[in-house]
Chain A
């Protein structure tokens, strides 16, 4: 079973690569929409990429109210 701390670095690296950011620019408590400069469609594509990377399914109602990388990592960790 993974914890949010296990998931967080991989999540942030993937998000940074996907949206052309340096992972060193991102902080776990950042608002991921602001930090990545993404909209809802791009957020969906991030969810799809995370599903593929972690081999899980993430129902979007579970991430609907997620704002930060660490909150997203917690959701993913529950399913990995």
Chain B
């Protein structure tokens, strides 16, 4: 099994471990093309002969900066004359597809590992949360910046975070928009292993190879028991995202993001709170 996409690639190595490499500059932003290629990853996670999957980034800046907000802004702006319902329908279609792909990765009957460095923000954080384990190098930082845009995470991140960590942490991340370093992320249970810079991929592979030594059918049953997907919460998250998207804040916030050159563009600028 081998796939060479324009924004990601994967192949099946010895022992049944698929390595997925995201390679879209500058930081693996998830737009329509990346979505189509992630759907291939979701299929691969259920393919015969696959025993484990490692998802990593070949891009220097980090794992994934999240949704392609500039593409979303351009698309939204180009359809500004259309009724808001039409634009929301378009966004909901995108969310339906990304939820289907992420749910499939999440529920794959194999062990999945996100090997993370650098930026792991928004939709990228949500992708990492679909995996069973996160192996992070010390440069990794995790963040949900969506409130800055007048939105909440929409790729299933909130229910998955609720599955993994306490609500106080979730409120802190979402309502302040701040990022967490890898060490803090390990303390709260998000990161299973914290490793030296540049070691995350090799450690992830060693973890995957260890997981492959178990009986595949047992892993499948254990996985189904360990990772039920909270479907009602996932559906509700999509609804809330779409309700917010239809409101007055998002288009302006996307335009502001598009033009932003500030040091920390994922945090709300002072004028945002005015």
Contact = CB atoms under 8 A, between A and B. Distances in A.
Interface of A: 33, 40-41, 43-45, 47-48, 51-52, 57, 59-61, 63-64
Given A45-B118, A60-B178, A40 B183 contact: no
Contacts of A51: 181, 183-184
A40 B181 CA distance: 15
Interface of A is mostly: helix
Contacts of A64: 263-264, 267
B122 interface: no
23 contacts: A33-B263, A40-B262, A40-B265, A41-B27, A41-B118, A44-B179, A44-B264, A45-B139, A48-B138, A48-B139, A48-B141, A48-B181, A51-B183, A51-B184, A52-B183, A57-B181, A57-B184, A59-B176, A60-B179, A61-B176, A61-B177, A61-B178, A61-B267
B62 interface: yes
Closest 4 CB pairs of A and B: A48-B181, A59-B178, A41-B61, A60-B178
B264 A60 contact: yes
Interface residues of B, number: 21
B63 to A, nearest CB: 12
Contacts of B138: 48, 52
Given A52-B138, A61-B176, A44 B183 contact: no
Interface centre among B62, B138, B181, B184 (most CB of A within 10 A): B181
Nearest to B180: A57
Nearest to A40: B263
B119 interface: yes
B270 to A, nearest CB: 8
A63 B119 CA distance: 17
A60 B267 contact: yes
Contacts of B265: 40
A41 B27 CA distance: 10
Nearest to A55: B183
B9 to A, nearest CB: 23
Contacts of B27: 41
A43 B119 CA distance: 12
Contacts of B204: none
Interface in B55-90: 61-62
B182 interface: yes
A44 B178 CA distance: 11
A51 B186 CA distance: 14
B47 to A, nearest CB: 34
B139 A43 contact: no
Listed residue (A43, A48, A61) with the most chain B CB atoms within 10 angstroms of its CB:
A48
A41 B267 CA distance: 13
A41 B138 CA distance: 14
Contacts of A59: 176, 178
A34 B241 CA distance: 38
Interface in B15-41: 27
B61 to A, nearest CB: 5
A63 B176 CA distance: 13
